[in-house]
Amino acid sequence: MFNGIVEGTLKLLSKTLNNNSCVMEFERLETLNDLKIGGSIAINGVCLTVTELTNDKFIADIMPETLNVTALGGLVPGNMVNYERCMKLNSRIEGHLVKGHIDEVGLIEEIYHDGNAKIIKVSISENIQPYLIKKGSIAIDGMSITIISVGNKYFTVGLIPHTVNNTVARFYQAGTKVNLEVDDMAKYMWNFMQNNLLSKAS
């Protein structure tokens, strides 16, 4: 479990494809001195398990399902990625609860500035549209972000300079694919309505 507050960025060192799966090797920063084999780490919002570890790098296995439903498959060695270690039970929840299970890959359609904010318009499918509301939360590449507006198969968010400068958002441009995880509370509420309120009304 994570809280969507990205700790920083690190580099993808290598990527080895094996049939439909993949092995990725990442640099291990000094801030990751408590990382351990079998532990979890979110990379661009995707929960990965550390399978090998040295003083300066760590390795994670990426299974076919993860490659199919996330944007990790598009990464190449040298790319920077967001990272967040799993939260502790006594930690503050400064963003919102994030599991690292991606719901969909969104596509950045447009980027513009409004004062000091970087406004990003992301296109989505109708599958996750019901879970998005104005002022609600969504995780974009692992970043807990507040939604500004929701339209027909798109939403917009605003990023402050600190977020842009300390995450992969500084590399975003039109056409960038991003990992999206919607708020679980929205899923539960929608499921309850579908299975109870709407069924009773019919």
The stretch 184-192 carries a mean pLDDT of 77
8-85 and 104-184 have identical folds: yes
- The rounded Cα 106 to chain-centroid distance in angstroms is 10
CB distance 150 to 133 below 8 Å: yes
Q: Domain 104-184 adopts which CATH fold?
A: Elongation Factor Tu (Ef-tu); domain 3 (2.40.30)
Q: Domain 8-85 adopts which CATH fold?
A: Elongation Factor Tu (Ef-tu); domain 3 (2.40.30)
Percent of the chain with pLDDT over 70: 97
Weakest-pLDDT range from 82-91, 107-116, 136-145, 159-168: 82-91
Q: Which residues pair with 58 in a beta bridge?
A: 26, 53
Which run of H or of E encompasses 49?
strand 46-53
Give the burial class of 116: count Cβ atoms within 10 A of its Cβ; 0-12 exposed, 13-18 middle, 19 or more buried. exposed
Domain ranges of the chain: 8-85, 104-184
Half-sphere exposure of 184 (CA within 13 A, CB side): 10
pLDDT for the residue 199: 59
**pTM of model > 0.85:** yes
pLDDT for the residue 197: 66
